[in-house]
Amino acid sequence: MLNHYLLLAALVLLFCVALNHISLRTGIPVLLAFIGLGMMFGSDGVVKIAFDNYELSETICSFALIYIMFSGGFETNWSRARSVSGQAILLSSAGVVLTALALCLFVHSFLKLPWNVSFLMGAVVSSTDAAAVFSLLKSKKLSLKHNTASLLEVESGSNDPSAYLLTLIGIAMCAGGQSVLQFMMLIVKQIGLGLLLGVLIARISIYVVQHYDIRDGSFDFIFVVAVASMTYSLSTLVGGNGYLAVYLCGIILGNVSFRGKSDVIRSLEGLSNIMQILIFFLLGLLVHPSRLIGVFGMTVAIALFLTLVARPLAVFLLMLPFRMPWRQQLLISFAGLRGASAIVFSIMAITRVSGYSFLFDATFAVVLLSILVQGGLLAPVSAALDMIDFEGDVMKTFNDYTAEVPVEFIRCPIPKGHVWENRSLAQITLPPKTLAVLLKRDGQDIVPNGSTVLHEGDELILTAVTSRDKTDIRLFELVVEKDSEQLNRKIKDLRLKAGQLVILIKRGNAVLIPHGNDVIREHDVLVMNDVKQKESR
């Protein structure tokens, strides 16, 4: 049985990799593709896996949200987001409340649902989704004017705790027996303890990573995952808001420098991607498309009101004191994508209060429409509002942005007979955009200058500028044997495939930059690149 589960998991992940590639080429939101894949495997789909365990789904999805939210906080570049943090936090708190109340009023007045159910419906769909927003901004490389991308990132990353708190209040209202004082105590306890533990654990973690060298293979990443897990669990155990704590801890820890941080960011992004796949596939598996027809009218009404009235109303009211350009406010209103967190909160509601199973189907359909319509049209709407910053780079708003001009280091040994032996650096013509930064000699590190003479046994360290652009270059090595057709040929006489080039020759301990008249010898190792040729259209 284990082998069957492993095979299924492997197939799902491979499908998701392929769907991500298709998404980048077609512009279809990849999260929508993950949901579609889950629906295909579900009971109404092709594979017909019968799955309706809401309790297990809630546990798994709540677990996955921890690392998605922590990763979102960890990746947020606070130095870029600080200038818009006030607007973002206002939208992620008061904005969520206003959106929920407006939708509550609409659902009660026009859809004729009871007040408590209407409030619960408004609560579960009140927040925007960080995974959906981050995914779209990154995949489409959508850089926006007025630092709008940073505002959307902080808002979407920090508003789930508010929606979670409202959902808890909505559940208590439906269950009954709670007083106003108890609701107020719940709010204070959730926010207060969440903030306290998020900051406290982050500060302790910063001390650890900056004063103790824990970098040993992947253990720095393991430490960060343990911090995220501890932050959420401790906060939840004492009655605090675990999602608020874990997001805040992620932001604080992600915006300090420590060894191995770049590797941690890449690992966290991979973990977050797997968790997103898990959530959206599981939710797609859980839904019954045939049941969505029954809530179609309600879904369209809620989605339209949410997109055209509730969200814009909250944005325009709260941004009024900031004198924000109306084009920016319209884009922020339209970019309020709903996602996995809303569906997870709806599952939380129906597992705690019986008789409201339609909440899951309605919320799922609202999220589906949001990702499909708002996600698919975000780039065109941004262009129509003249909000795209063509000279900007949205990746700078994330902590995985490395540098303006990335460099790499090149080791260059100087064996006996090397062409640079007994010559000073001033007499050597280095390749363009390279610089000699270090000389290793007899176990010592020497900072070289133009008068430094290279001797046999030296190792010169060069830096070279690398390109940030995505390329289709593949490097490979070719060993020249006695029967190789390259043997005793000049570089310029080699018959290479289109797009291939010899970029380096390893000859014994020497590393040679090839020239056209260089003759290839036996046992040479040719380092070659192979550029994928684009098909002509």
As given in the structure block, the two tokens for residue 37 are 């894949």
CA distance 387 to 142: 10
Q: Coil, strand or helix: which one is 178? A: coil
Tokens 């709806």: give the residue.
346
pLDDT band at residue 287 under the 50/70/90 scheme = confident
Q: Which residues contact 17 (CB under 8 A, 6 or more apart)?
A: none
What pLDDT, on a 0 to 100 scale, did the predictor assign at position 537?
A: 39
As given in the structure block, the two tokens for residue 28 are 């279809």
What is the dihedral angle through the alpha carbons of 44, 46, 47, 52, rounded to the nearest 10 degrees?
-10
Closest CA to 227 of 213, 258, 206: 206
pLDDT tens, 225-279? 999 999 999 999 999 999 999 999 999 998 887 777 777 888 888 888 888 888 8
As given in the structure block, the two tokens for residue 177 are 């027996």
Closest CA to 188 of 241, 152, 128, 246: 241
What pLDDT, on a 0 to 100 scale, did the predictor assign at position 25?
A: 66
Is it the case that residue 470 has pLDDT exceeding 50?
no
pLDDT tens, 307-328? 999 999 999 999 999 989 999 9
- 125-134, 327-336, 495-504, range with the lowest pLDDT: 495-504
pLDDT tens, 14-70? 888 887 777 666 656 677 778 888 888 877 777 777 778 888 888 988 899 899 889
CA distance 137 to 394: 7
As given in the structure block, the two tokens for residue 22 are 């298709």
CA distance 158 to 248: 8
Is it the case that residue 534 has pLDDT exceeding 50?
no
Q: Quote the pTM value.
A: 0.70
pLDDT tens, 14-26? 888 887 777 666 6
As given in the structure block, the two tokens for residue 259 are 């060894």
What pLDDT, on a 0 to 100 scale, did the predictor assign at position 474?
A: 56
What pLDDT, on a 0 to 100 scale, did the predictor assign at position 204?
A: 94
The helix (H) or strand (E) run that includes residue 258 is: none
Instruction: Give me the sheet containing 473-479, strands edge to edge.
Output: 473-479, 525-531, 500-507, 510-512
Burial of residue 88 (number of CB atoms within 10 Å: 0-12, 13-18, 19+): buried
- 195-209, 302-316, 320-334, 414-428, range with the lowest pLDDT: 414-428
Q: Read off φ and ψ for residue 335, nearest 5 degrees.
A: -85, 15
What's the whole-number average pLDDT of the chain?
Answer: 83
The helix (H) or strand (E) run that includes residue 473 is: strand 473-479
As given in the structure block, the two tokens for residue 369 are 């429409």
Residue type at 534 in one-letter notation: K
Q: Read off φ and ψ for residue 477, nearest 5 degrees.
A: -110, 145
CA distance 100 to 29: 26
